[in-house]
Amino acid sequence: SQTIHQWPATLVQPVGSPLSLECTVEGTSNPNLYWYRQAAGRGLQLLFYSVGIGQISSEVPQNLSASRPQDRQFILSSKKLLLSDSGFYLCAWRQGQNTEAFFGQGTRLTVV
Amino acid sequence: KQEVTQIPAALSVPEGENLVLNCSFTDSAIYNLQWFRQDPGKGLTSLLLIQSSQREQTSGRLNASLDKSSGRSTLYIAASQPGDSATYLCAVKEEPGTASKLTFGTGTRLQVTL
C-alpha cells in the first residue's frame, strides 16, 4: 500500500534562517506531488506541484522554492525565512490526474 | 476563478443525529470533488471522491452527493458519533490542465456531543 511521510512535524525557526521540509511517498511510482500551505482561518493554498523528477511548477510568487531530486521525494526550501512563512505545510500526492489525493500529516512551521 | 464555500463554518450536534454538510463551488467545470477530514493539528484524511460523472458515493456512514450543474455537494453523516468530531473540507479539481490542483473550501468544524 502507498504511504506518505512528511517531516519534521513541528519546526520553530528564526527569521532569516534557511528551511528544508521533506516529503516522501512509498508504494507508487511517478506520482504527482504537491505542497500546500494552510494559514489559520483560511483554506489550503497550493504552493508547488510536480509531475516528474526535476519538474516544478509554482502557483504563487513567494519566498519558497521546491525541488524533486528523486521520483518519490519532494522538498520545500527557503534560503531566508520571513515571519509570513509561518503556517501549516502539507505534502500531497496523486497517481494520475483524476484520482484521489492523499495528504501527509503536515509540518507546523513557526518563524520567530 | 473558482471559489469553494462551505456552510456552516461550525456545527454542533448531539450524538446519534444525522447531519448534512454543504459545499458549493462557483465554476461547474470540474473533474471531481473530494471530501476530507482534518483532526486538530493533523493532516487531511480522504473520505470520499466523486467524479464529475457521478451523482453520489458512499462509504460506511458517509454519503456524498454531487450536483455539478448547480455547483453543490453535500456530505451526509448518519448516526453521528463523538469520534466524527473534526473539520470537514471539500475540494474540487478543476479542468482543464495538467496542474491537477485542488481548490479547497475553508471547512466546517463539526462537534458531536455526548
- CA dist B68 and B28 (Å) reads 6
- Binary contact (A100, B49; C-beta < 8 A): yes
Q: What is the pLDDT of residues A82-94, one digit of tens each?
A: 999 999 999 999 9
Average pLDDT over residues A50-78: 92
Average pLDDT over residues B78-101: 86
- Binary contact (A98, B93; C-beta < 8 A): yes
Average pLDDT over residues B70-99: 90
Grid cell digits, residue A84: 509570513
Determine contact: A6 vs chain B, CB below 8 A. Answer: yes
Nearest by Cα to A88 from A48, A50, A49, A41: A41
A57-to-A32, A34, A35, B80 alpha-carbon distances in Å: 11, 10, 11, 41
The per-residue pLDDT for B96 is 54
Residues 6+ apart with CB under 8 A from B97: none
Decide if pLDDT at B108 tops 90: yes
Instruction: Give B83 to chain A, closest Cα distance, Å.
Output: 18
- CA dist A52 and A35 (Å) reads 14
The per-residue pLDDT for A98 is 75
Decide if pLDDT at B97 tops 60: no
The per-residue pLDDT for A99 is 85
In this structure, the number of other CB atoms found within 10 A of the CB of residue A52 comes to 12
- CA dist B22 and B65 (Å) reads 10
User: Residue B42: which of A42, A100, A105 has the nearest Cβ?
Assistant: A105
Residues 6+ apart with CB under 8 A from B100: A32, A49, A94, A97, B93
The per-residue pLDDT for B100 is 67
Grid cell digits, residue B107: 471547512
Question: Chain B partners of A41 at a C-beta cutoff of 8 Å?
Answer: 106
- CA dist B107 and B46 (Å) reads 14
- CA dist A95 and A112 (Å) reads 37
Question: Chain A partners of B106 at a C-beta cutoff of 8 Å?
Answer: 41-43
- CA dist B93 and B75 (Å) reads 17
When pLDDT is cut at 50, 70 and 90, the band that residue B95 belongs to is low
